[in-house]
Structure 1
């Protein structure tokens, strides 16, 4: 019970050293891996973030040797990169890794099946519309649940060009 608050100075020094080295290593790996690691999280990025944080905490608390922790951090970043590349080159992998955006409101109608499958309430859709600065529902073309869980509100327009909604199913 005496080791609960203090074991010895050598343990404190080791934990301090592994924390500094682990933190700097993770910081460098995240900087090298690019902005994707820092973007709003989709399910895949969430898992990567949890894995990185868990590994770093084990390293900081000296529960794994420093080199093993660095190898794990490196492998997680490499796997994220490989998965991102495969998602970029394969539509099936992209859908598997990132899911797909879903239209939750379209042309004045809530998409009930999508609301249910995404566990979104109508009040949350209304909140997204208000957050977009719109108070008249007839100004809204669609509300899309994006890959990262945010909702994007698309205003109606008079243009007849290509729409950002063209690749999404409307449920109609």
Structure 2
């Protein structure tokens, strides 16, 4: 039972050493790849961010994965993210394959139920988004848009 809490010093030293090196490598790779790598503009970006975190955790905790293998895995994910986003910015077909379009869910205070069903969003979720923006009644909103990253954009009705 004591091995649940502590097995030996060499394992701790390995995690510390590999952790610092892998973290430094990840920061360097992210700096080289640019700001776009970790944005959450769409579901694809979110998946890559989660994959990077999972890969870093594996590097830290699995003695079966060498530092070189782990850094290579991080580099592959970042390179693929760069290639996809670069291609997406240049070719519409690639953009359509990896990114969704924003969806209007409420317009001039009226729920657009067909769009909400298609996006699997219910009225309560839209109302919560409105409340989060200080709007208690849907009639106080010009529109609610489900963005490509899954967040709601709320546009208030202009006064008058």
TM-score category, normalised to shorter length: 0.7 to 0.9
Which residue does the alignment assign to 2:70?
Answer: 69
TM-score in terms of structure 1 length:
0.78
Which residue does the alignment assign to 1:149?
Answer: 150
Q: CA deviation at 1:144?
A: 0.4
Which residue does the alignment assign to 1:108?
Answer: 109
- Residues 120-145 of structure 1: CA deviation (Å, up to 9, x unaligned): 11122122223333345334221100
Return the alpha-carbon distance in structure 2 between the equivalents of residues 13 and 22 of structure 1: 14
Q: Once superposed, what is the RMSD of the aligned Cα atoms?
A: 2.5
Which residue does the alignment assign to 1:169?
Answer: none
Which residue does the alignment assign to 2:33?
Answer: 33
Return the alpha-carbon distance in structure 1 between the equivalents of residues 66 and 19 of structure 2: 12
Aligned positions, number: 158
TM-score in terms of structure 2 length:
0.83
Which residue does the alignment assign to 2:141?
Answer: 140
- Please tell me whether the aligned partners of residues 38 and 49 of structure 2 are also in contact (alpha carbons under 8 angstroms): no
Task: Decide whether aligned partners of structure 1 residues 130 and 65 sit closer, same or farther in structure 2, where only a CA change above 3 A counts.
Answer: same
- Please tell me whether the aligned partners of residues 110 and 139 of structure 2 are also in contact (alpha carbons under 8 angstroms): no
- Please tell me whether the aligned partners of residues 104 and 112 of structure 2 are also in contact (alpha carbons under 8 angstroms): yes
Task: Decide whether aligned partners of structure 1 residues 20 and 113 sit closer, same or farther in structure 2, where only a CA change above 3 A counts.
Answer: same
Task: Decide whether aligned partners of structure 1 residues 5 and 124 sit closer, same or farther in structure 2, where only a CA change above 3 A counts.
Answer: closer
- Please tell me whether the aligned partners of residues 87 and 95 of structure 2 are also in contact (alpha carbons under 8 angstroms): yes
Which residue does the alignment assign to 1:10?
Answer: 10
Unaligned runs of 5+ in 1: 159-172
Unaligned runs of 5+ in 2: none
Which residue does the alignment assign to 1:55?
Answer: 55
- Residues 90-123 of structure 1: CA deviation (Å, up to 9, x unaligned): 2222222121111111233212122112221112
Which residue does the alignment assign to 1:124?
Answer: 125
> Helix, strand or coil for the counterpart of 1:103?
strand
